[in-house]
Amino acid sequence: MTAKHSAEPKLPAPAAPLDPPAPSIQFEAVSFAYPDGTQALVDVSLRIAPGESVAIVGQNGSGKSTLVRHLNGLLRPTSGRVLLDGLDVRGVHVARLAERVGLAFQNPDRQLFAGRVSAEIAFGPRNLGVRGAALDERVSRALDAVGLSAEAASNPYDLGYSRRKLLALASVLAMRTPVLVLDEPTTGQDARGVARVRAVVAAAVGEGRTVVAISHDMRFVAECFRRVVVMGAGRVVLDGAPEVVFAEDAWPALRATYLEPPLPAVAGARLGLGATPTQAVFVAALRRASTKSR
């Protein structure tokens, strides 16, 4: 065993106070059809308060990525409206949206283009007008947050897939947007990489940012997010805290979208311990039950 695998990654140091503050996000009866006729979203209404952490789950093709692409103007609704602080994003220039909503793609190779890791990360904030020492500081903080400080001078394509993905995340972090949207941030990551992503999410939430993440990783979802939105066939099927969405009475709806609750939730229900979406909650419930029976 090597020492570098045993240390939990450090939480990034808190950044400057959030400016501008996180906006409220509202989807008003949003429907979206792709040009080939595929109906990806059907009448989605959703309100996300400033600073909320929201995981979006659902099977491949359920509309998750389509939904989040409406947040930064990559897609515009076929009908309905997307509002940031009450303002229809349709009238907002994409460059203005980019200052408020940062989106890290599922496939980092759709996002990376620069010849050096540091240039890749500097590109976004430079376009926001950040220069000099402030720019350097943003780049080094973002690199530090994902554990790539040693690779600042590397070519992004000399990094393995998992580190390219962390780099894409860092380049979005460097934008310091009040809303952070992550499309399957943990795929392809090993345990250490997942821990880094978790720390990034926790730090962003701690700073008051709104974090919206698409994920198939139910452990990550249950442990790192306060709200879970389950999508099926372009609609919102379930919406609530992990304790609600992964509770036994929600399993039929969950399974209808081909999702399985996390193991601690299943074990808790079988043992009559109530809703136990995470290991920590499960163990606490088990402890209460065993104290009571004594």
Beta strand 87-88 pairing with 210-214 = unpaired
Looking at the Cβ atoms of 60 and 132, the one nearer to other proteins is 60
Report whether the peptide linkage leading into residue 21 is cis, meaning its omega lies within 30 degrees of zero.
no
Residue closer to other proteins (CB basis): 24 or 279: 279
If binding is defined by CB under 8 A, does position 1 make contact with other proteins?
Answer: yes
Residues 214 and 56: beta-carbon distance below 8 Å: yes
- Would you give the distance in Å from CA 56 to the centre of its chain? 8
Q: Which of 8, 11, 131, 258 binds other proteins (CB under 8 A)?
A: 258
Number of residues that bind other proteins (CB under 8 A): 46
Kindly state the smallest distance separating residue 182's Cβ from other proteins, in Å: 15
**Under rule CB under 8 A, which residues in 132-191 are in contact with other proteins?**
160-163, 184, 187-191
Which residues are registered as beta bridge partners of 230? Answer: 57, 238
Region 184-223 residues binding other proteins, contact defined as CB under 8 A: 184, 187-194, 216, 218-219
Residue nearer to other proteins on the CB measure, 59 or 140: 59
- Give the binding range for other proteins (CB under 8 A) out of 15-23, 86-94, 113-121, 256-264: 256-264
How far apart, in whole angstroms, are the C-alpha atoms of residue 15 and residue 291? Answer: 43
CB-CB contact of 72 with 97 (8 Å):
yes
Count how many Cα atoms sit within 13 Å of the Cα of residue 143 in the half-sphere of its side chain: 21
What mask of x and - would describe binding to other proteins in positions 53 to 72, judged by CB under 8 A?
-----xxxx---x-------
Q: What is the 3-state secondary structure (H, E, C) of 168-193?
A: HHHHHHCCCCCEEEEECCCCCCCHHH
Nearest to 15 by CA among 131, 97, 102, 134: 134
* Among 24, 31, 39, 107, interactor with other proteins by CB under 8 A: 107
The site for other proteins (CB under 8 A) is made up of 1-2, 5-6, 36, 58-61, 65, 106-107, 109, 160-163, 184, 187-194, 216, 218-219, 258-260, 262-264, 266-267, 270-271, 279-280, 282-283, 286-287, 290
